[in-house]
Amino acid sequence: MKKLSRKDFLKKTAIAGLAGTALLSGCKSEEEMKEQRKKKASGVSGKRYRWKMVTTWPPNFPILGVGCNLFAEWVEQMSGGRMKIRVYGGGELVPPLEAFDNVSSGTVELAHGCAYYWAGKSAAAQFFASVPFGMNAQQVNAWMYSGGGIELWRELYEKFNLVPYPAGNTGVQMGGWYNREINSIEDYKGLKMRMPGLGGKVLEKVGGTAVLSAGGEIYTNLERGVIDATEWIGPFHDYKMGFHKIAKYYYSPGWHECGTALELIVNKDKLASLPADLQAIIETAAARVNIWMLSEFEARNAEFLSKIETDSKVELRKFSPEILAQLRTYTNEIVSDLTASDPFAKKVYESYTAFRKNIIKWSEYTEQVYYNDIQS
């Protein structure tokens, strides 16, 4: 065997090293190609998205605005940072009640609000928020997720280039804050009250005036006499907003909103442009917000009802059975007129009432017995 000189040894070593490097580079490229094929097959890409979300609530508003912030955090976490959503409270980027139009046009990608705000766009939208004397939160969720509600909702919003998701529920609300006693249906005559949705139509039917205003405007309107009464949600928010300082009477129950669903709306085209996993992440985060908001409302309302009782001179009242019966009659008339004039509203309400009929029978053997015989 010929002895290699130092010069020859270094030369051969260099050549071998280059060959090895080339081989390793080839292996690495193959591994990268496999990973790319894997990502492509699973719908995962490395592309990053930066979206804007507007709301109908004041910036960082307790529960509602905070829930939107959490939604954005959860989406970012689940996407590994590939999707970041900047949340704007009502008025920060667009006026609160213009959120629908801005998402529909694609000016922003998402919004959070409540479907009865868009009654002017479609009367049927109100049924996806709240129906007076209707289903509670548990029943509404059952209709939405398992009774065909979401499918109808998406059919309605498709013409607006929107995809809706349930994204919160207030639970049964309170009946509102008044500076006059409501002892009979006649006491509603001439009353100016902040009350959206179908409940507002019922108020007008009994001789009052329904005023639609965003949450951040209510206190000032009530304090200055622009409105005589207001409803909002329940004790937690109502206390934080200071209504107990400027109103004498706090009535229950919230016959007009027995389980108000809140919504996330997404621009349909923008949603379709996302990889499949990010679409699933948005839907999953919305479902998480849905249960989180309801849980927060239930826990905080129970706590703050006691604070209103102990920290103020407000009188807690209940509407009489006679008043509730008359309000129910007017509700039936309003809904009957609405569904007679709007075929899609009729279609939605037929689904809603059919589901409600069955679930009420079920609740007679479960929820009703629980409240009457177990909890009491």
Q: How do residues 309-331 score in pLDDT, each as one tens digit?
A: 999 999 999 999 999 999 999 99
Tell me the percentage of the chain whose pLDDT exceeds 70: 88
Q: What is the mean pLDDT of residues 39-50?
A: 72
As a whole number of Å, the end-to-end CA separation of the chain is: 102
- Secondary structure string (H, E, C) spanning the chain: CCCCCHHHHHHHHHHHHHHHHHHHHHHHHHHHHHHHHHHHHHCCCCCCEEEEEEECCCCCCCCHHHHHHHHHHHHHHHCCCCEEEEEECCCCCCCHHHHHHHHHHCCCCEEEECHHHHCCCCHHHHHHCCCCCCCCHHHHHHHHHHCCHHHHHHHHHHHHCEEEEEEEECCCCCCEEECCCCCCHHHHCCCEEECCHHHHHHHHHCCCEEECCCHHHHHHHHHCCCCCEECCCCHHHHHHCCHHHCCCEEEECCCCCCCCEEEEEEEHHHHHCCCHHHHHHHHHHHHHHHHHHHHHHHHHHHHHHHHHHHHCCCEEEECCHHHHHHHHHHHHHHHHHHHHHCHHHHHHHHHHHHHHHHHHHHHHHCHHHHHHHHHC
Task: Give the tokens for residue 240.
Answer: 């934080």
Q: Does 39 score more than 70 pLDDT?
A: no
Write out pLDDT tens, residues 174-196: 999 999 999 999 999 999 999 98
How far apart, in whole angstroms, are the C-alpha atoms of residue 208 and residue 187? 9
| pLDDT tier, 36 (very low <50, low <70, confident <90, very high otherwise) | low
Around Cβ 164, how many Cβ atoms within 10 Å?
22
Write out pLDDT tens, residues 125-136: 999 999 999 999
Q: Does 23 score more than 60 pLDDT?
A: no
Q: 177: buried, middle or exposed (CB in 10 Å: 19+, 13-18, 0-12)? A: buried
Q: Does 22 score more than 60 pLDDT?
A: no
| pLDDT tier, 31 (very low <50, low <70, confident <90, very high otherwise) | low
Q: Does 33 score more than 90 pLDDT?
A: no
Residue 104 · residue 161 · CB < 8 Å? yes
49-169+260-297: CATH class: alpha beta
pLDDT score recorded for residue 13: 45
Q: Does 29 score more than 80 pLDDT?
A: no
Write out pLDDT tens, residues 257-290: 999 999 999 999 999 999 999 999 999 999 999 9
Q: Does 348 score more than 80 pLDDT?
A: yes
Q: Which residues contact 357 (CB under 8 A, 6 or more apart)?
A: none
Q: Does 303 score more than 60 pLDDT?
A: yes
pLDDT score recorded for residue 131: 95
Q: Which of 40 and 298 is assigned the larger pLDDT?
A: 298
| pLDDT tier, 11 (very low <50, low <70, confident <90, very high otherwise) | low
pLDDT score recorded for residue 197: 86
Using alpha carbons, list the distances in angstroms from residue 204 to 57, 137, 208, 335, 360: 25, 26, 5, 14, 29
| pLDDT tier, 214 (very low <50, low <70, confident <90, very high otherwise) | confident
Write out pLDDT tens, residues 134-146: 999 999 999 999 9
Using alpha carbons, list the distances in angstroms from residue 111 to 85, 93, 286, 351: 11, 11, 12, 26
Write out pLDDT tens, residues 76-116: 999 999 999 999 999 999 999 999 999 999 999 999 999 99
| pLDDT tier, 46 (very low <50, low <70, confident <90, very high otherwise) | confident
How far apart, in whole angstroms, are the C-alpha atoms of residue 9 and residue 24? 22
How far apart, in whole angstroms, are the C-alpha atoms of residue 176 and residue 319? 11
How far apart, in whole angstroms, are the C-alpha atoms of residue 316 and residue 156? 40
Q: Does 8 score more than 80 pLDDT?
A: no
